Amino acid sequence: MTLTAEPAREIRPTSPDLAASLTAAEAAAFLAAARELDGDDWSKPTDCAEWTVRELLAHVVGQFEGAAKPWVFLRRHRLGHRRYPSLRRLDAMTRQQVDDLGRRPPAEVIGMLARLGPKAVRANRRVPQFVRRLPVTRLFPDDPLPDPRLAYILDVIAARDIWMHRVDLSRATGRPRVHGDHETEIVAQVVRDLGVAWSGPALVLELTGPAGGRWTLGAGRPDATVRLDAVECLRLLSGRPIESPVDGDPEATGTLAAARVPF
């Protein structure tokens, strides 16, 4: 039997209502994972350059706080750029988040995650349509996005970023990551972005695991199939190291390994 494969670039974008439910699910899953940490976990290194678990959680708290309180987001954006002018605007802002929040006691950080996660989801839901259509290129000129509108940040990046950092948390601490059914949509939207930007050979991308699926990349009839675990593929596309080899045609796997998708 031949399994069907949908063109990746034809995957439908996430609707605002679904996006809110995805972000809420990831915020709850991240909080549950953070509550499992013990004292030794907080100082462990993560796959995020220069970040320990404590600093990774500070960043996620900062993301929630910036969504719930836009004035805090703007202050950190401005202050980060002034303090770290050599960094990309996004990196400077996340550095400022860690500066502000990275020394908070674990109990306080967990409490902030619990309070601010739901507030961030509600705030994202309430953003007016005319604001959702505004471009974010002036705020982050060094980070071109597949869609420059704020809606892309709210509907795609918000849940994707938390999901990836939950994977980072699991890898850093050795604790198992709990899978949720909502992850299928997160994976699909990453594949969509990959498909829209893909300029390599036509192929079938087969992602294994609970959130996986089959999609085609490129124009024309695919002559190759590339197989990889779905979580490992997203880590690869984010620029993180992976543990499982990419299986498939060498040219196709090489192109996939060099591809990047924003997280």
**Residue-wise pLDDT tens digits, 246-261:** 999 888 899 999 999 9
Per-residue model confidence (pLDDT) at position 255 = 93
Q: 45 vs 95, 153, 170, CA distance in Å?
A: 16, 27, 11
Per-residue model confidence (pLDDT) at position 244 = 83
Extended strands (E) in 92-231: 203-208, 213-217, 224-229
The DSSP output letter for 137 is T
Per-residue model confidence (pLDDT) at position 249 = 87
pTM, whole model, 2 decimals? 0.94
- Give the start-to-end residue ranges of the domains of the chain: 6-10+183-258, 16-173
Residues 188-235 pLDDT 10s: 999 999 999 999 999 999 999 999 999 999 999 998 999 999 999 999
What would the two tokens of residue 249 be? Answer: 């045609």
Please, are residues 117 and 62 in contact by the beta-carbon 8 Å criterion?
no
- Tell me how far apart the alpha carbons of residues 158 and 143 are, in angstroms, rounded to a whole number: 15
CATH fold label, 16-173: Four Helix Bundle (Hemerythrin (Met), subunit A) (1.20.120)
- Tell me how far apart the alpha carbons of residues 259 and 263 are, in angstroms, rounded to a whole number: 13
Q: Is residue 149 pLDDT above 90, yes or no?
A: yes
Per-residue model confidence (pLDDT) at position 3 = 63
What would the two tokens of residue 223 be? Answer: 């002559």
The DSSP output letter for 182 is T
- Tell me how far apart the alpha carbons of residues 187 and 183 are, in angstroms, rounded to a whole number: 6
The secondary element (H helix, E strand) that includes residue 7 is strand 6-7
Degrees to nearest 5, angle at CA 59 with 58 and 65: 90
Residue written as token pair 């679904």? 18
- pLDDT band of residue 4 (cuts 50, 70, 90) is confident
- Tell me how far apart the alpha carbons of residues 52 and 35 are, in angstroms, rounded to a whole number: 16
CATH fold label, 6-10+183-258: Nonspecific Lipid-transfer Protein; Chain A (3.30.1050)
Please give the backbone phi and psi of residue 146, each rounded to the nearest 5 degrees, phi first: -60, -30
Q: Is residue 263 pLDDT above 70, yes or no?
A: yes
Closest CA to 146 of 1, 8, 3, 22: 8
Torsion of CA 147, 149, 155, 157, to 10 degrees: 60
Arithmetic mean of pLDDT over the chain: 95
